[in-house]
Structure formats: structure tokens, C-alpha cells
């Protein structure tokens, strides 16, 4: 961030990108962060890392005491792999970027993400990551709960069948053996749990800009979001 001559802390903003499963939020968030020279946080990866820890350590997540104890043993951080230029998730000193995308984790992450203790802990970490602004964060409750004062909120959506096909192709390319119906079912079920949970459910913030990318290419969606970001940065500069 600091080596970018255009990065100005005074006008640095928070960009919150929320939306349904597999809408391409992370793809857009990463590209937008790179273009603005901002930090990027994949909040979903944090819930996935917690889920991986619970599964590997057989934490009974219906017991709040067990969850609270487990949370004290979890350390999550992100590192940019300079060789692959990939932002990777680390759990307790181990790189888990691929493991957290496995079917087992995808099946359990939304139930885990309903747990109040888990959410409070993750939200604290997310707020810490955004305390100096200059960040793009994607998730489900970033614009509504984590950063209700984000200068730009984007709510992403896409046709469910388009989303399922994109995720199916992504999993295939990684050698994961899912069939299309299992992918559809996973997305449906996660969207249902995420939208109906008691604690900070997935909702479109009233001041969010909606981006339906069913028929947009990656570069088209980036152009649109980058334009919105420039507007938000200029308007923040003007109000300073």
C-alpha cells in the first residue's frame, strides 16, 4: 500500500462486497484490491479455516464451551504467495488454502458460521484488518454489520444456475470430484442458512449498489466496480 504513489490514507475507503455463494465476490474483490493497491480480506476463508479446525479436531460445535475453548487455539492469517501470486489462508502455521475449499468444509461452513461465538471472534479480526481503511473485504455481512460505515458497498448476485456452473468448473479444475447436483445443493443450502440465521444474516444493505454479473465478464465487472470505487474515493476526498 505504502509504495503506491496514488494511495492516500486520508481518502482511503473500505469496500464491502457481499452476496450469495459463488457469485464471484472473491474474484472481483481480489482484482479490485490489486487495481487500487488496497489490502484484501476473504472473510469466508476465515469461517472456512475455523470449520477445518473444528472438523480436524472433532470439536462438538453444538456445545458452546467446546467452541469457546477451540477458538482460543485458532490463529488465522493470510499470506501472499509470491510465486503463484495467490493470497493464501494459514491456520495455526499451516497453509490451508486448498483444504478449506474441500467438500467436507463446504458442507459444514454455514452451520459453523451461525455460531455466535465464532462470528464475534471473526468480526473482531475483520474490523482490525480494516482499521486503517484501504481495504476490500468480501463476505455476507460486511456492509451490514462488520463495516456499516463502508464508503462503498456492493451486493453481488447472479443467476443460481450460472453460479453453480462456475463453481462446478472451478472445482473440476482443482481436481475435486463433485457432481453438478451436489454443487447446486451445496449453494442452495448455504444460501438458505446464510440468509435465515439469527446472527447477522446475509442481507442487501439499503445503501449497497447491486451488481448482477450473470452476463458480465470478469473485466466488465471490474470496470464497473472500479468506477464506483473512484466515485466513492472522490466523494470522500471532497468531504474531507
Residues forming the site for ligand CDP (CB under 6 A): 21-22, 25-26, 43-44, 47-48, 109-110, 113, 139-142, 190, 194
Q: Which is nearer to ligand CDP, 26 or 213 (CB)?
A: 26
| Residue 102: other Cβ atoms inside 10 A | 17
Q: Which is nearer to ligand CDP, 185 or 235 (CB)?
A: 185
Q: Which is nearer to ligand CDP, 74 or 109 (CB)?
A: 109
| Cβ atoms 188, 181 nearer than 8 A | no
Minimum CB separation from ligand CDP for residue 47, in Å?
4
Q: What are the grid coordinates assigned to 18, written together?
A: 457481499
Minimum CB separation from ligand CDP for residue 185, in Å?
13
Nearest to 35 by CA among 80, 4, 77, 81: 4
| Cβ atoms 111, 193 nearer than 8 A | yes
Number of H helices, E strands in the chain: 8, 8
Q: Which is nearer to ligand CDP, 158 or 229 (CB)?
A: 158
Which of 84-93's residues contact partners 24+ apart within 8 Å by CB, and which partners?
Answer: 87/30, 87/40, 87/42, 89/42, 89/45, 89/46, 89/48, 89/49, 91/49, 91/52, 91/53, 92/53
Minimum CB separation from ligand CDP for residue 115, in Å?
10
Q: Which is nearer to ligand CDP, 13 or 137 (CB)?
A: 137
Minimum CB separation from ligand CDP for residue 231, in Å?
24
Which residue's Cβ has the minimum distance to ligand CDP? 44
Minimum CB separation from ligand CDP for residue 190, in Å?
4
Amino acid at each position: 500500500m505504502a509504495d503506491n504513489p496514488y494511495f492516500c490514507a486520508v481518502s482511503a475507503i473500505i469496500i464491502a462486497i457481499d452476496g450469495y455463494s459463488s457469485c464471484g465476490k472473491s474474484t472481483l474483490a481480489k482484482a479490485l484490491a490489486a487495481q487500487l493497491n488496497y489490502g484484501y480480506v476473504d472473510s469466508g476463508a476465515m469461517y472456512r479455516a475455523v470449520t477445518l479446525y473444528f472438523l480436524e479436531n472433532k470439536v462438538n460445535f453444538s456445545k458452546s464451551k467446546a467452541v469457546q475453548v477451540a477458538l482460543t487455539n485458532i490463529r488465522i492469517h493470510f499470506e501472499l504467495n509470491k510465486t503463484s501470486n495467490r493470497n493464501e489462508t494459514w491456520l495455526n502455521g499451516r497453509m490451508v488454502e486448498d483444504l478449506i475449499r474441500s467438500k467436507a468444509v463446504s458442507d459444514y461452513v454455514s452451520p459453523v458460521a451461525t455460531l455466535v461465538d465464532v462470528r464475534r471472534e471473526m468480526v473482531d479480526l475483520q474490523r482490525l484488518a480494516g482499521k486503517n481503511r484501504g481495504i476490500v473485504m468480501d463476505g455476507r455481512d460486511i456492509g451490514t454489520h462488520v463495516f456499516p460505515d463502508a464508503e462503498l458497498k456492493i451486493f453481488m448476485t447472479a443467476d443460481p444456475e450460472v453460479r453453480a456452473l462456475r463453481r462446478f468448473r472451478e472445482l473440476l479444475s482443482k481436481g475435486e470430484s463433485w457432481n453438478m447436483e451436489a454443487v447446486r445443493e451445496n449453494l442452495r443450502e448455504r444460501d438458505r442458512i446464510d440468509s435465515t440465521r439469527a446472527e447477522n444474516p446475509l442481507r442487501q444493505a439499503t445503501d449497497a449498489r447491486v451488481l448482477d454479473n450473470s452476463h458480465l465478464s470478469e473485466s466488465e465487472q471490474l470496470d464497473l466496480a472500479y468506477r464506483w470505487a473512484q466515485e466513492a474515493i472522490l466523494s470522500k476526498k471532497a468531504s474531507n
